[in-house]
Amino acid sequence: MSNATEDPPAAAVEINLEAEFAASNIQEVFDKLERELVGLVPVKTRIREIAAMLLVERLRKRLGLTTETPTLHMSFTGNPGTGKTTVALRMADILHRLGYIRQGHLVSVTRDDLVGQYIGHTAPKTKEVVKRAMGGVLFIDEAYYLYRPENERDYGQEAIEILLQVMENNRDDLVVILAGYADRMESFFHSNPGFRSRIAHHVDFPDYGRDELLAIGKLMLDRQNYRLSPGAETAFGAYIERRMKRPHFANARSVRNALDRARLRQANRLFAAMGQPLSRDALMTIEEQDIRASRVFLGAPKDKGAA
Amino acid sequence: MMSNHGNRITQGQFSYLPDLTDEQISAQIRYALKNKWALGIEYTDDPHPRNTYWEMFGNPMFDLKDPAGILIEINNCRKTFPNYYIRVTAFDSTAGWETPRMSYIVNRPKKEPGFGVARTEGPGRQISYRVHSYATDKPEGERY
């Protein structure tokens, strides 16, 4: 703090935010984010803000304006399949490029990895995980399971205490990201106010619309060297519309599962047509009938995770 | 004649230097991790130079990627054994090496009594010499 009032170092060093931005290669990450993640506007905005803040922070440090390291612990809330884990992975990469974390690896854990089964088992287990995450990002999926109010002798509380301590004392060493469904995270934070105050960024992941899901589906297929025939594309659009209305809809995850089943049917169709010559094109294309065969189109609302 | 003032034992790397600071230890660990060597922490209260097998503190840390995690373990060990010798070893598992590539002391007892020469007379005026650590006059666990 005291340094901030001192004169800036000799001859007001030329500050070139643009050059700094180019040097950090961060644009590359943004482009990749834009290319591979459909929608998610509030999330992307927040990532840009954080990146800008860290970049400015770096410049300030170079000019001798001391500041405290910003807290970057985050909480990602959103429905299943909205890309929380994917973004967490990207986050590790971004923070690494900005020099905020040293290694840039992601350690993804759930309650099982943190909480032990008997007295005295939890602390070493949690500490082991924390040590592994040092220099990177610790991603705790479905974090609300850590706290079980119905059982007052639950060991989850012990893990929470250690995590809180680490989030405070090792701020320079790791970034903790909690993820989970919005309503349950809300009650989790409500019963653990220490967590809420230690987390600087609460990012909400919105649900996808029909067109976004279609774009995601096409992106997934593209990555596996498949494509939809024009007929299949309209069919898939109709499929998504119907699937969205059904229970247990899990956004991008449902799309992925649907496409996996379509690939299954495509393989089956090609198999049934044995004897005819197969073109490279035929191996890559998913036809309308592969999509239309789905149980979602049968209309009967007999749901079993939807086939 | 005192050739080693303060009787500091000299084993492994850096042992003729003043004690390493935590930053220096971190830097050495970073070097080891960069080379994909697994770090381990060992302790003993028997300072004899031929005592090569020290007790291991916890498991070797194959899965840690950052010095901060290992430094936590080192500090844990210092807290548990403040008056022991503690060293950090970096094990290289590549075929052909399979051996510690680094080893340096990160903690030593406050007072190191040092070594003396003990003579044993054999048949025909033959004398055999042996290095004797004063610390080992006392039983294990009470030496420092």
* B46 alpha carbon, distance to own chain's centre: 10
Distances (CA, A) of B41 to A111, A293, B84, B144: 29, 61, 12, 19
Collect all residues of chain A within an 8 Å Cβ-Cβ radius of residue B67: 134-135
The last residue of a domain, from among A151, A172, A205: A205
Contact assignment for A135 to B63 by CB distance below 8 Å: no
Q: Has residue A302 got a pLDDT over 60?
A: no
Calpha distance A105→A116 (Å, rounded): 24
pLDDT-derived band at A14, boundaries 50, 70, 90: low
Position B3 scores a pLDDT of: 60
Q: What is the pLDDT of residues A238-248, one digit of tens each?
A: 999 888 888 88
Q: Residues A183, A236: one domain?
A: no
Burial class of residue A245 (count of CB atoms within 10 Å of its CB; 0-12, 13-18, 19+): exposed
Architecture of domain B9-111 in this structure: 2-Layer Sandwich (3.30)
pLDDT-derived band at B101, boundaries 50, 70, 90: very high
Q: Residues A71, A191: one domain?
A: yes
Q: Has residue A1 got a pLDDT over 50?
A: no
Report, as an integer, the average pLDDT of A62-87. Answer: 86
The last residue of a domain, from among A178, A205, A232: A205
Position B74 scores a pLDDT of: 95
Position A194 scores a pLDDT of: 85
pLDDT-derived band at A11, boundaries 50, 70, 90: very low
Question: Which range, of A127-136, A215-224, A272-281, B64-73, averages the lowest pLDDT?
Answer: A272-281
Percent of chain B with pLDDT over 90: 60
Question: Chain-wide mean pLDDT for chain A?
Answer: 84
Q: What is the pLDDT of residues B34-46, one digit of tens each?
A: 999 999 999 999 9
Tell me which residue range forms the domain holding A133.
2-205
Q: Residues A7, A98: one domain?
A: yes
Q: Is residue A184 part of a domain?
A: yes
CB proximity A105 to B under 8 Å: yes
- Sequence letter at residue B62: F
pTM value?
A: 0.78
Position A299 scores a pLDDT of: 62
Contact assignment for B67 to A127 by CB distance below 8 Å: no
Q: Residues A292, A235: one domain?
A: yes
Report, as an integer, the average pLDDT of A280-307. Answer: 74
Q: What is the largest CA-CA distance in chain B?
A: 60
Sheet holding A106-109, edge to edge: A106-109, A137-141, A175-180, A74-78, A201-205
Q: Residues A37, A156: one domain?
A: yes
Q: Is residue A303 part of a domain?
A: no
Each domain of chain B, given as residue ranges in start order, spans 9-111
Q: Has residue A8 got a pLDDT over 50?
A: no
Q: Is residue A167 part of a domain?
A: yes
- Residue labelled with tokens 């950052």: B66
Complete DSSP assignment for chain A: -GGGGSPPSTT-PPP-HHHHHHHTTHHHHHHHHHHHS-S-HHHHHHHHHHHHHHHHHHHHHHTT---PPPP--EEEEE-TTSSHHHHHHHHHHHHHHTTSSSS--EEEE-HHHH--SSTTTHHHHHHHHHHHHTTSEEEEETGGGG--TT-TT-THHHHHHHHHHHHHHTTTT-EEEEEE-HHHHHHHHHH-HHHHHH--EEEEEPPP-HHHHHHHHHHHHHHTT-EE-HHHHHHHHHHHHHHHHSTT--HHHHHHHHHHHHHHHHHHHHHHTTTS---HHHHHEEPHHHHHTSGGGG-----SS--
Position A305 scores a pLDDT of: 45
pLDDT-derived band at A274, boundaries 50, 70, 90: confident
Calpha distance A104→A207 (Å, rounded): 28
pLDDT-derived band at B4, boundaries 50, 70, 90: low
Report, as an integer, the average pLDDT of A45-69. Answer: 83
Q: Residues A215, A256: one domain?
A: yes
Q: Are A262 and A290 in contact (CB under 8 A)?
A: yes
- CATH number of the domain within which A241 lies: 1.10.8.60
Q: Are A217 and A255 in contact (CB under 8 A)?
A: yes
Position A74 scores a pLDDT of: 92
The backbone torsions φ and ψ at residue A146, rounded to the nearest 5 degrees and listed phi first, read: -60, -30
Counting the structural domains of chain A, the total is: 2
Q: Is residue A239 part of a domain?
A: yes
Position A10 scores a pLDDT of: 46
Q: Has residue B120 got a pLDDT over 90?
A: yes
Contact assignment for B69 to A134 by CB distance below 8 Å: yes
Collect all residues of chain A within an 8 Å Cβ-Cβ radius of residue B68: 134-135, 170, 173-174
Q: Residues A115, A27: one domain?
A: yes
CB proximity A170 to B under 8 Å: yes
Position A306 scores a pLDDT of: 45
Q: Which residue of B has its CA nearest to A102?
A: B66
Position A56 scores a pLDDT of: 85
* Residue of A305, A185, A299 whose CA lies nearest to A248: A305
Position B34 scores a pLDDT of: 93
Position A13 scores a pLDDT of: 58
Position B2 scores a pLDDT of: 54
Question: Chain-wide mean pLDDT for chain B?
Answer: 90
| A-to-B residue pairs, Cβ atoms closer than 8 angstroms | 35
The last residue of a domain, from among A153, A172, A205: A205
Q: Residues A57, A95: one domain?
A: yes
Report, as an integer, the average pLDDT of A144-158. Answer: 85
Contacts of B120 (CB under 8 A, 6+ apart): B127, B128, B129, B130
Distances (CA, A) of B49 to A74, B52, B81: 50, 7, 20
| ipTM confidence | 0.72
pLDDT-derived band at B1, boundaries 50, 70, 90: very low
* Residue of A300, A265, A270, A294 whose CA lies nearest to A282: A270
pLDDT-derived band at A12, boundaries 50, 70, 90: low
CB proximity A180 to B under 8 Å: no
- CATH number of the domain within which A134 lies: 3.40.50.300
Report, as an integer, the average pLDDT of A34-38. Answer: 83
Q: Is residue A114 part of a domain?
A: yes
Q: Residues A84, A173: one domain?
A: yes
Q: Is residue A307 part of a domain?
A: no
SS3 state at B26: helix
Question: Tokens for A82?
Answer: 């909205």
Q: Residues A216, A199: one domain?
A: no
Percent of chain A with pLDDT over 70: 92
Report, as an integer, the average pLDDT of A24-44. Answer: 82
Q: Residues A84, A137: one domain?
A: yes
Calpha distance A92→A139 (Å, rounded): 10
Percent of chain A with pLDDT over 90: 21
Q: Is residue A275 part of a domain?
A: yes
* Residue of B43, B46, B36 whose CA lies nearest to B90: B36
Q: Residues A291, A240: one domain?
A: yes
Nearest CA-CA distance, residue A127 and chain B, Å? 9
Question: Tokens for A232?
Answer: 């299949």
Q: Has residue B47 got a pLDDT over 70?
A: yes
